[in-house]
Structure 1
């Protein structure tokens, strides 16, 4: 299976703002005093899309629907995943106002673009039991080695993770990840803010995994699969240096996509490790990061579906 794709689905926001329903356990969100937040988010979004298209990434942009009032629609990777066997995963969401983001009409657009959908694997009924698994926010998929890395949290239920792994034939690599908030260790809301897995390397904030055995197990799997480690600090993680995604551009060239703040937080040594394998593509996502508590990776729903 391929680890990276040249096609991503992105949702252009129309009602972007700080989502009060997600702020309860997303400690990356901040209150900022900025006028016209949605317009600024749209400008950041459009510039990001332009950069991706500029290097040959196939970006399928769909528009959010204003009447649904979905402030986090810009982060589609939490509710959907697309797989090489033609299957789509649909995921249960922690915040009630995020559940309206799941718009199946977007799939028709993918079919128009020549992609084949064979089945939808729907986990959303778990919401009735207050159980959640927020897509590739919760799941870091090593598709090549068929492993699913997952930091358990209110948004990543262990039983649902196991169910996903059984359905899609992945091996679960389970741990808990924490960040310091006002002097207390609190669970990180999404795995994809503390780690990213590329073809040849993995970016990971080991300081977030407080349990030594869990940390050792995670490292064992990454080393087993010959991933070069790029270890980031918790401070760098707070600049979204864990929220990255490797994609393929024109001429099979690989890019590691991240925000400008993530890029600026990296050391020369970390950049050198990454650039052995991928060019870095970064874009200013300051307003989106502050209000949304998510960054570049969260905005990209990778499309691995086969062509019809």
Structure 2
């Protein structure tokens, strides 16, 4: 069990600046080592093996990544790319950085305990900090949530925590990647007022490994697979919280499992224009009526990433680590 009095998780000042819901910048990690991850495949049912040579899988993922970074940049989002580490350690899931770090408007950078050993290798804190500082972002504190070698109290960042910053609320599905004690400790650390912890099951009765494949919360729009919340009281409570503040699109198990419709992210261009980042597969999975609702809340930025989705078991949102740090303007 972790020690809740570790010095690197002391609470920050409660006089925090307001945290916006929509980030205008993201960090993405180039998938140089992209491959089927044997260590995460045990509980990520979204991962699949392709009948292709390993080099071809990596090359396709790299091409998809380059197209996505270009499209996001063209829509006015600031995209910073963390390149391959010179240490040579293979990290097949590095393209999904939102699991190992988050940033806050108070200048804090939080680093999270990861479920598998090879995902812990993704946490290149010094290189990340250097990248952010090079782009004039201010880092006031770097904090480990738990400790770097934690094996029980796992909390995989915004893979498992879906934030409604305006209401200081977090939604989270219980899983091997989201330990309740780690979640509540983090909520206390950040001064969150409301923790919506719930249990899920996919169409085969298996717990959903990351909350962000079945739900997304933006500034004024939310997407959720309510059917995956199999306990009626939890489902009612979560839907009531969402519907009191957001226009809610309810998606099916099929839309989650076959199309990644829950794995989308509302962002903002540098001029404040709302954007909705998602994969081509997700956009095609929404009904025409749902597409029209989405378009009312932002410009869809649709990205074809079939190889990353099929082999990595994650989609567009997983590839985007939001940057909320204060920036020094010149």
Unaligned runs of 5+ in 2: 1-18
Superposed, which structure 2 residues align to 1:73-112 within 5 Å?
A: 73-104=94-125, 105-112=127-134
Look up the match of 1:296: 316
More strand by share: 1
Aligned CA-pair RMSD: 1.2
Q: 2:76 aligns to what SS in structure 1?
A: coil
1:64 touches 1:73 (CA, 8 Å); kept in 2? no
1:124 is displaced (CA, Å) by 4.5
1:115 touches 1:305 (CA, 8 Å); kept in 2? yes
Look up the match of 1:237: 256
Q: Given the alignment of the two structures, is residue 10 of structure 1 paired with residue 31 of structure 2, yes or no?
A: no
1:257-303 CA-partner distances (Å, limit 9, x unpaired): 00000000100111111111111111111000011000100000000
1:172-212 CA-partner distances (Å, limit 9, x unpaired): 1110111123xxx0100000000000111100000110000
Residue from 273, 280, 293 that aligns with 1:260: 280
Look up the match of 2:12: none
Q: Using the alignment, how far apart are the partners of 2:149 and 2:287 within structure 1?
A: 41
1:34-82 CA-partner distances (Å, limit 9, x unpaired): 2311111000000000000011110001112371100000000000000
TM-score normalised by the chain length of structure 2: 0.90
Unaligned runs of 5+ in 1: none
Q: Given the alignment of the two structures, is residue 57 of structure 1 paired with residue 80 of structure 2, yes or no?
A: no
Look up the match of 1:123: 145
1:103 is displaced (CA, Å) by 0.3
Q: Using the alignment, how far apart are the partners of 2:191 and 2:156 within structure 1?
A: 18
Q: Using the alignment, how far apart are the partners of 2:203 and 2:241 within structure 1?
A: 26
Where has structure 1 moved over 3 Å in runs of 4 or more?
Answer: 126-129
1:126 touches 1:132 (CA, 8 Å); kept in 2? no
Aligned residues: 304
